Amino acid sequence: MTMNAPDTATRSRATRTPAPSPAPAASAGAPAPSTAVRQADGMAVASFVLGLVGLLAMNLLLGPASIVLAALALRRGTTRPGRARLGLALGVADLAVLAWLVAADQTWSWSIG
Q: Is residue 8 part of a domain?
A: no
- What's the pLDDT score for residue 74? 92
- Determine, yes or no, domain membership for 25: no
30 - beta bridge partners? 27
pLDDT at 32: 60
Q: Could you tell me if residue 21 is inside a domain?
A: no
Residue 75, pLDDT score: 93
Instruction: Count each helix (H run) and each strand (E run) in the chain, helices first.
Output: 4, 0
Would residue 99 count as lying in a domain?
Answer: yes
The count of domains in the chain is: 1
Answer whether 96's CB lies under 8 Å from 56's CB.
no
Whole-angstrom Cα distance, residue 106 to residue 113? 16
Q: Per the domain annotation, does 47 fall within a domain?
A: yes
For position 22, what pLDDT does the model report?
A: 52
Could you list the mean pLDDT of each consecutive 10-residue stretch along the chain, which spans 113 residues? 54 57 52 76 93 90 95 91 95 92 75 59
Phi, psi of 27 (to 5 degrees): -170, 115
> Residue 76 is part of which domain span?
34-113
67 in any annotated domain: yes
